[in-house]
Amino acid sequence: MASGKGGRRVLLLCGDYMEDYEAMVPFQALQAYGVTVDAVCPAKKAGDICPTAVEQYSPAHQTFSESRGHNFTLNATFDDVEFEKYDGLVIPGGRAPEYLAMDASVVELVRKFSDSRKPIAAICHGPLVLAAADSVRGRKCTAYPTLGPVLAAAGAYWVKPETMSGCAADGNLITGATFKGHAEYIGLFIKALGGNVTGSDRRILFLCGDFMEDYEIGVPFQALQALGCHVDAVCPKKKAGDICATAVHDFEGDQTYSEKLGHNFTLTADFDALDISSYDALVIPGGRAPEYLALDEKVIAIVKQIVDANKPVASICHGQQILAAAGVLQGKKCTAYPAVKLNVVLAGATWLEPDPIHRCFTDGNLVTGAAWPGHPEFISQLMALLDVRGRRVLMVLGDYVEDYEAMVPFQALQAFGVSVDAVCPAKKSGDICRTAIHELSPAHQTYSESRGHNFTLNASFDDIEFNKYDGLIIPGGRAPEYLALDASVVELVKQFSDSGKPIASICHGQLILAAAGSVKGRKCTAFSPVKPVLVAAGAYWVEPETMSACVVDGNIITGATYDAHPEFIRLFVKALGGIITGSDRRILFLCGDFMEDYEVTVPFQSLQALGCHVDAVCPKKKAGDICATAVHDFEGDQTYSEKLGHNFTLTADFEALDVSSYDALVIPGGRAPEYLALDEKVIALVKQIVEARKPVASICHGQQILAAAGVLQGKKCTAYPAVKLNVVLSGGTWLEPDPIDRCFTDGNLVTGAAWPGHPEFISQLMTLLDVQRRVVLLCGDCMEEYEVVVRFQALQAFGVSVDAVCPGKKSGDICPTAIHQHSTSQFLTRSINHLCSAVFTSINSFIWKKETEC
């Protein structure tokens, strides 16, 4: 699918009485896929509303009927639109386009998108705006049938829609007849943005009833269809082709929601003929339907069957009334529309407050949301359970794997959007591997070892399906010594090696590569004592000049020790299809003795892997000094245990800091914050960063420092639960870290409770830092048009900033391109000038490049 973190941004052009579905479905579906959507309306600003229209088609009438829909809240201001920020444009239908087409500012904006050849998607009456902007001349397009004469007069090649779900694509222009075509329409738009929508084998069942909430059925149903999922909607006592009436629930200043009649929703399958076992997940919309569906024994049986099969269930708003009646919430943590809290609690569940109202939660295979404003998160969390999207890599572990070498890539890659399954032979998901802390010291001839964290596996070795994975990671430590003797491990590594998929191995991990015959004739490095084995296995040994050395040979990436993690992870991401070339962001870590070992090193090395300049300082210490760290773990006692962690080397002098030169501050947890909170210089540093409105990311006990600095007043945040008192007494609003890996962003503040939350913690900080993705496109006169334009726009669609440059030319200059057209007899070539926005710039940002279908 389309971009994730730091990805694409599109503009949604709204107006009063635009069609309700045609605004909200793409708005929320695109967000669920990771695309940022700004909704604007002329003469209105962020926070204003546009009333929408529900347009209903019936054989009983010669044209559609109209009634009032939801109020659509804009999230951006039209007058603040910067065209260059956007990668595409969406124009809903309804009656709004009739007057938007007469607005000079709207027409001019649409022309900019059209001239730039950025993707434009317009549906129903939306193409009226395209006609006014002269953007359909010579282009194939469709629309609501009554627009045929206008579009033809504007020079379009009219494609009459055979059904109301008809769509047409011509270059960067996607048009649709009505919202019934959303699945294809959104899919085409994602493809035009550079995404690759190729379908999914997932089968999803929606449990419907009369007066279910209109959005809560329409948005997730069409969003999942657009992903290629097979989606069925059923209702008791109804069959395929029957309709369910829906309800528009909105807040309009009364003590509870108002209700209006929504769209008629057409069912796709017969309730009584269902084979429940054929579905992979169940979705339960809210509205008023659940209160009577909860009384239906067949409905209850369906829910129990899905839950007993451990398949995902996603329920929103009042839908949890059905889950409560089915008795499947016992011991679960969930949310719902606040009025349903009593049902949830009496059913034995732990209530999670939906604050804000769009907040959603996942507990095992259960996704719950409070109301339709949470759809982007609701759909995204369901997608995660369905494993619909994303890169996936395998990490092979064993007892006494090196602590850092397991956890740093495990959490860093997840923060970058890569799914990581950690497995160990003879162990299953939920089991632990004990880790080892290996410390190198000039005082000893080899490393020392002590006990590290317990690493919890998240997958079972015996369940591995090789074809699901895009790459393999092998950490070091002492585990590889015996894993190299395990026939199942060796066979697995051989599969990755023979397939050419990327393999990243560090420290002693290369022993397994040697056992699998994967290093023969390949350059590699490792921890130096592994050299004789690698040479005997036929490798070309590369002596590591430092403990941070890495070597690449084809699909094999090898590193010497965990000191090499920033480059090691960067090279692995590149081998997966990404390119990491640096960032101009400068990040400061505030350290102290006995800070938690993971909580400094995982985010420190992750940010380094992104190319950020990262400094670590400690009061009364200077660059090159060390801070002792602490391993905090839960091992069955009433509180965490503590063991000695790695020594962490500082990179800058505290006393010589120019705080204004940094873009963000990170505060690790552990025991250091309790005494750092007493240091006046530390407090002054924190205040300076906060007052400059720069991002601050603090985890675990780190919030003790924020509380002491008085910067939590009015903020919503979390922390390690024992720090709750500090947060509340300092004026912060406490957010329960349930589960413990939950992190929160409030303005420029990111907070987390403990190191299991690192992927989300780092990801949220990356968002605040706006870590960009950038490549250079090397151009010249008479380059082939498609070969530059397709790559230029497709890479942009994946969140990659593309700078097009040409020797001897500057930004704004043009390169003439050549169109090479194959005919039956010859290649015809002609030159057409196209504008390339050439900007000479150093490449200094994180890039994630996904597969493109051209």
Q: Residue 485: its pLDDT value, please?
A: 96
Confidence of residue 388 (pLDDT cuts 50, 70, 90): low
Q: Residue 197: its pLDDT value, please?
A: 53
Q: Residue 389: its pLDDT value, please?
A: 54
Mean pLDDT of 355-384: 91
* pLDDT digit string, tens, across residues 81-92: 999 989 999 999
Token representation of residue 652: 């800058």
Helix H or strand E encompassing 96: helix 96-100
Residue 334 known to be catalytic: no
* pLDDT digit string, tens, across residues 591-610: 999 999 999 999 999 999 98
pLDDT at residue 320 greater than cutoff 90: yes
Phi, psi of 683 (to 5 degrees): -60, -40
Q: Contact at 8 Å (CB) between 852 and 194?
A: yes
pLDDT at residue 383 greater than cutoff 90: no
Show Cβ contacts of residue 313 under 8 Å, excluding neighbours closer than 6 positions. Answer: 281, 282, 283, 284, 303, 306, 307, 323, 328, 365, 366, 367
Mean pLDDT of 93-98: 95
Pairing of strands 392-396, 366-369: unpaired
Query: Which of 112-121, 181-190, 268-277, 439-448 has the weakest average pLDDT?
Result: 439-448
Query: Which of 497-506, 723-732, 775-784, 833-842 has the weakest average pLDDT?
Result: 833-842
* pLDDT digit string, tens, across residues 450-465: 999 999 999 999 999 8
Which of 761 and 820 is assigned the larger pLDDT?
A: 761
What is the share, in percent, of the chain residues with pLDDT greater than 90?
74
Confidence of residue 584 (pLDDT cuts 50, 70, 90): confident
Q: Residue 847: its pLDDT value, please?
A: 32
Mean pLDDT of 387-399: 84
Q: Residue 798: its pLDDT value, please?
A: 37
Residues in the chain, overall count: 854
Considering 508, 613, 632, 646, which one is annotated as catalytic?
508
> Long-range contacts of range 68-72, CB-CB < 8 Å, 24 or more positions apart?
68/248, 68/260, 69/19, 69/20, 69/214, 69/248, 69/260, 69/262, 70/20, 70/24, 70/214, 70/215, 70/248, 70/250, 71/250, 71/252, 72/14, 72/18, 72/20, 72/23, 72/24, 72/27, 72/39
pLDDT at residue 692 greater than cutoff 90: yes
pLDDT at residue 234 greater than cutoff 80: yes
Residue type, 829: T
pLDDT at residue 518 greater than cutoff 80: yes
Helix H or strand E encompassing 220: helix 214-226
Mean pLDDT of 737-753: 91
Q: Which domains does the chain have, with CATH numbers?
A: 9-192 (3.40.50.880), 203-386 (3.40.50.880), 392-577 (3.40.50.880), 586-769 (3.40.50.880), 774-847 (3.40.50.880)
d(CA 729, CA 438): 40
Q: How far is CA 170 from CA 141, 144, 620, 648, in A?
A: 7, 17, 65, 57
Q: Residue 535: its pLDDT value, please?
A: 97
Show Cβ contacts of residue 156 under 8 Å, excluding neighbours closer than 6 positions. Answer: 127, 131, 136, 137, 138, 139, 140, 141
Phi, psi of 618 (to 5 degrees): -145, 135
Residue 358 known to be catalytic: no
Confidence of residue 21 (pLDDT cuts 50, 70, 90): very high
Mean pLDDT of 634-661: 93
Q: Contact at 8 Å (CB) between 70 and 39?
A: no
3-state helix, strand, coil in the chain (%, to 5): 35, 25, 40
Mean pLDDT of 186-207: 80
Considering 263, 632, 701, 758, which one is annotated as catalytic?
701
Closest to 237 (Cα-Cα) out of 275, 279, 277, 208: 208
Query: Which of 75-84, 408-417, 590-599 has the weakest average pLDDT?
Result: 408-417
* pLDDT digit string, tens, across residues 172-183: 999 999 999 999
pLDDT at residue 837 greater than cutoff 50: no
Confidence of residue 238 (pLDDT cuts 50, 70, 90): very high
Q: Residue 108: its pLDDT value, please?
A: 97
d(CA 764, CA 650): 25
Q: Residue 268: its pLDDT value, please?
A: 96
Q: Residue 850: its pLDDT value, please?
A: 34
pLDDT at residue 543 greater than cutoff 90: yes
What are the DSSP E strand ranges found in 518-625?
523-524, 540-541, 550-553, 556-559, 579-580, 586-590, 595-596, 613-617
Mean pLDDT of 113-139: 96
Considering 14, 141, 334, 507, which one is annotated as catalytic?
507
Confidence of residue 1 (pLDDT cuts 50, 70, 90): very low
Q: Residue 106: its pLDDT value, please?
A: 97
Confidence of residue 64 (pLDDT cuts 50, 70, 90): confident
Q: Residue 42: its pLDDT value, please?
A: 97
Confidence of residue 579 (pLDDT cuts 50, 70, 90): low
d(CA 82, CA 78): 9
Residue 182 known to be catalytic: no
Mean pLDDT of 522-541: 96
Mean pLDDT of the residues in the chain: 88
Show Cβ contacts of residue 463 under 8 Å, excluding neighbours closer than 6 positions. Answer: none
pLDDT at residue 523 greater than cutoff 90: yes
Considering 50, 700, 717, 743, which one is annotated as catalytic?
700
pLDDT at residue 56 greater than cutoff 90: no
pLDDT at residue 466 greater than cutoff 50: yes
Mean pLDDT of 696-703: 98
Query: Which of 336-340, 496-500, 807-811 has the weakest average pLDDT?
Result: 807-811
* pLDDT digit string, tens, across residues 301-319: 999 999 999 999 999 999 9
Residue type, 670: G
Residue 453 known to be catalytic: no
Closest to 71 (Cα-Cα) out of 287, 252, 265: 252
